[in-house]
Structure 1
């Protein structure tokens, strides 16, 4: 008898750590939120010390699973049947979500959240950007790979723009954001990466999104201040291209260069960089950024023999000049105009010259702003690895 009681006690003890289903929820009761857009509310956020005094208008895009299924006859589904948007206002994300729970039949569920869009005005406010992300960083349902973008203008309009032939705006934007065959937009930025930047107080660049009519564009970038956690400016497509070269953020893209009287299209396939710091005067760092650009000739209107070394060297020189123009525009915007180190030069000093970095850290981007006064030289090396399957084409 005693042996049986002992076995029973062991079985009961073993069951204690097993998870129960007291908090389970049926699939039909869940509202799958895939996108969130955050705009300024009736209490403006565009001022200093926004903590606790701001209000937000939040637009949720909730997917309708049945609407995503293809129609058996036509092979398509109506966009209006696959999602809906709901906009609510509150001082905190939690209060807004509580309101949402009383207005829909399904409980908001963020495990499938794919995109957060923050309006230009909210992002510009001091700490406003970090404040709106706080809820999603703390929420166990939201994943660390959620994409975050800044909208040029209103964020709600981004989730309301439905390109023809697409099922939901969020899914369409997500597919564009992962495009690695262009250097005119910033690589996808995830909330987990942004959290690291915020903790380290590093300035950074995230994707910019704009909408017009039924057109969505992710060309350009948004520069964020790592100290005040706010948007300080946008980069255009040329400045973004230069940024991607400087940060090795390029995995594709085409440079069109003039050779003779015609164009040659050079496809960028790989970019690598090396940073060297001359600290003979620690108060005035001198950086040399070496870039190695590799690619091939994708298209050529100039009738030449592309196996000849002089021709190859001429094209390489034109590509080099093009890259130098792009990076110079980026340096002018980031170092001279906005004075924010989004190039990772402070990180280089921190890793390779920690003693010097301790001297410069406090005024690297503030006060004296040593970053803006540093000398930065970019040396570009270009290689043509392939010319395609045709050497030259017949003259017409």
Structure 2
């Protein structure tokens, strides 16, 4: 798939409607984590440098078509000004006379942010009339919100059909990283998939076994696969009703010549709490009154060996209960090993998903990965092989 970038657009003197994701955490009206805002800086900077006038479109929370004061974008203006290093104007609506006046008054070197698009029920409905009203405010549409690209909303999909369109720098980076990891990867390819439930990642697993050479499964999901193979997992989190599905995935992987890697040793405890007494055992020796909370060192050594021979890694989800010490060992060790290989230029590593980013940050490995996606649902749907409406609308 190919898409138009900012480099291919004549932006001089043009109002550039730029869809962004600034759905950031706030406390008492102040942004507490500006990471998503900071990742927009290259796009805004390049539009300004090319003589364009950036007009930001975004949602915040789920106001469901109502004007919810706590979900206004106005409190974000100071954080946007700090990140962009310029004046940021604000319009109390994203359509209508007020928004049009604000767009017309925008001066070179300034940025305009329009109020929450989801204050209008027509936004998630992808209403064409609503999209046309927004389109009146600009000359070019730039989508820099990959994290919202799995939604066919007016500001993420509809606008792309009404104006000359392109991908912003963050969208471009996301697409390049994911295309390189799944569509045309350097082989061998390894995927690490963790999490609590197989049922929540069925499509993901089904797609990956046909595209990767090794699939490492961790967390509660691994327990389900172990139980499906007749291994006693004690009181561990496992979906015993997913036995047939797990066996089908194992069969599909075998046909596709994809090696499924499950724990060979386990860390178990009787209590799910920090510092709980634990022991490392062979995978088939889980006591009936214990829970499997992490993979053991032999499993980590096996994963490390696989990574040594790999060229591409896709990571989604932890290998154990990483939030609680000492059950973060496997995730930390494997992530650190992958990060070091990436830093040495031996491995292309792409990771994404909420728990994934938190786990890699905790391990101190995130900065060394080739690319970390801030997208949640969009990242997963891409990995599942689904077409993302916001991306498809930009394809050229």
**Structure with the larger helix share:** 2
Q: Shorter-normalised TM-score: what interval? A: under 0.3
Length-normalised TM-score, structure 1 = 0.25
Structure of higher CA gyration radius:
1
**Structure with the larger strand share:** 1
Length-normalised TM-score, structure 2 = 0.25
